Amino acid sequence: MHAQDKSGFSNPILAGFYPDPSICKVGSDYYLVNSTFAYFPGLPVFRSRDLVNWKLIGHVLDRPEQLNLDGQGVSRGLFAPAIRYNKGTFYVTCTLVDIGGNFVVTSKTPEGPWSNPIWLPQINGIDPSLFFDDDGKAYVLYNSIPPDDKPLYSGHRSIRMYEFDAESLKVIGLERILVNGGTDISKKPVWIEGPHIFKKNGFYYLICAEGGTADQHSEVVFRSANVWGPYVPYDGNPILTQRYLSPERDNPITSTGHADFVQTETGEWWTVFLGCRPYSLLDGEYYNTGRETFLAPVRWKAGWPIINPDHDEVQYHYPFPIQSLTPTDRLYGGNLKVRDDFERESLNPNWMFLRTPHEKWYDLKTKPGVLSMKLRPETCSGHMNPSFLGQRQQHLSGSASARLDFTPTSENEKAGLLIFQNETHFYFLCKSETGNEQVIQLYKSSDSKSSDNQLELIASQHIRNERSKSALHLKIEAHRDVYSFSYAFSPTEWVPLKDGVDARYLSTKVAGGFVGAIYAMYATSLGASTTAVAYFDWFEYVGDDEVYR
């Protein structure tokens, strides 16, 4: 089946680094948010009418006054938002780790503008989520420390809750523990987190992730007749996991969990959740696309919700949740081709900055149809905001390419394309200068945290003098576990610079953290002062995974 046809849709619905999905429904519209960690703007807001075709309508934290990510590691920053709606107001709760802790922001419209963060200092934990009861009361629940801060084992956590004043945006009364440890503390369950409460037929249902975000990840459910509990775990838990499946399965989906539920107009229940797509599982769980957003049906059985009820494996294809809508082109799922010719006066909202930009180092107006990027001393190895504009690697197989016009005048000046996972795991394909000659270079990052600007040169090619003023085309291709790097002076005459470069170096298993790989236009002077500018005429991303053909 193709990525999308009349019989159904394809997973993931948001491909690439879109983890920790949370969803709510307002009228006929669905809204979804994801974690963004140290990328800016923070927390994308998507809208859909059919749960499949999503449009990016804004970001929750898009002003530097709301979100300052200076000094934050790539996998720190914003963890696990939750979006809710009540009486004309949208609420997003989230955790800004290492800086301010837990907060809530509000807006009358999902597009924004959203308020500045209102901090919730009483909440000691992560993953806050609001629940609005039908009696007018509201609550905020979250992952927290074990009772008396005395863990019985590694990964011992609890789910706790306060009543919440939705007008003053403050917690009320005393904190109470809803879940200690997880579904069965005698089995030492780990990392109970990502909690949400909803109500159905007089019962309060508490869903949580359990098992950690790697291949043991799962989703579990509890219920109670009272919002404060006691919450009884379902004896068929977990209601979602892939940890028991054979590693020999084709096109595996792993690490499923961190779910949120929604009900359609016609009464059907669906869930969004995160999952991962390794190259295979026969030689280890390696993937570069990060944790992605999937969609699956939920069926109720004897008063309990069951995710993906007809299958053990999460499916790449399901029937449409809402049949009446005509499918449209998808920008975030299935195979796709996306090109930016920089013809607008503002950046496409899909572009991401690495941390918060405090100055305007890029320009779309001086040369219409061209993105100008100043070379600056900041580097992607550091912990500030470099001249970096990125888009997610959304496919195991695909490519990113760009046309660059740049004349370096020193060996420190470099501009080109980056495939980036974190400060110590990336490859940089660039134009630079060495020995008074212009050169195309491919660098591998140093994995030493103490070496900010150290790069390992793994391939280079001198540019003939007659070509030195010509625009340069650069391309990075992903082929599951390897990358290929090439260049051209004509868009149809690509020349390989280096093939078979280890992609596992940028996988979550090797690089660590909670993010996925990012293709980026990047320009740096490696700590030196310069007035140099790099010009990009266009950027193109192509995704081509076999499972969607």
* pLDDT computed for residue 469 by the predictor: 80
The string of pLDDT tens digits covering residues 421-480 is 999 999 999 999 998 899 999 999 986 654 456 799 999 999 987 777 889 999 999 999
Strands of the 39-40 sheet, one edge to the other = 39-40, 352-354, 387-392, 518-524, 414-422, 425-434, 437-445, 455-462
| Strand locations in 133-268 (E) | 138-144, 158-165, 170-180, 193-200, 203-210, 218-224, 232-233, 240-241, 254-263
* pLDDT computed for residue 282 by the predictor: 87
Nearest Cα to 103, choosing from 129, 72, 85? 129
> From the first residue on, what is the mean pLDDT of each consecutive set of 10 residues in the chain (549 residues)?
58 97 97 98 96 95 97 97 98 95 98 97 97 97 96 97 97 97 96 98 97 95 98 97 94 97 96 96 93 98 96 94 65 89 94 97 94 97 97 97 96 97 97 93 80 81 83 96 96 93 97 97 95 96 92
- CB count, 10 Å around CB of 60? 27
Pair type for strands 397-405 and 254-263? unpaired
* pLDDT computed for residue 451 by the predictor: 47
The string of pLDDT tens digits covering residues 275-295 is 999 998 988 899 999 999 999
Distance CA 494, CA 461 (A): 13
Q: Among 2.60.120.200, 3.30.1240.10, 3.20.20.70, 3.30.1490.100, name the CATH number for the domain at 336-548.
A: 2.60.120.200
Q: Which residues pair with 317 in a beta bridge?
A: 10
* pLDDT computed for residue 329 by the predictor: 57
Nearest Cα to 52, choosing from 246, 323, 291? 323
Nearest Cα to 277, choosing from 418, 79, 480, 32? 480
Cα distances (Å, whole numbers) of residue 279 to 129, 192, 212, 398: 33, 28, 21, 13
Query: Domain residue spans in the chain?
Result: 4-318, 336-548
Identify the H or E element spanning 508.
helix 508-511
Q: Identify whether 193 is a catalytic site residue.
A: yes
**CATH H-level superfamily of 4-318:** Glycosyl hydrolase domain; family 43 (2.115.10.20)
* pLDDT computed for residue 1 by the predictor: 30
Nearest Cα to 377, choosing from 413, 429, 323, 431? 413
Catalytic residue among 20, 378, 433, 545: 20
Distance CA 420, CA 18 (A): 16
Question: 103: exposed, middle or buried (C-beta count within 10 Å: 0-12, 13-18, 19+)?
Answer: buried
**Residues 178, 162: contact at Cβ < 8 Å?**
no
For residue 187, give the 3-state DSSP assignment. helix
Nearest Cα to 537, choosing from 438, 470, 443? 470
pTM score, two decimals?
0.95
Catalytic residue among 50, 127, 193, 423: 193
* pLDDT computed for residue 4 by the predictor: 42
Cα torsion angle, 492, 496, 500, 501, sign:
negative
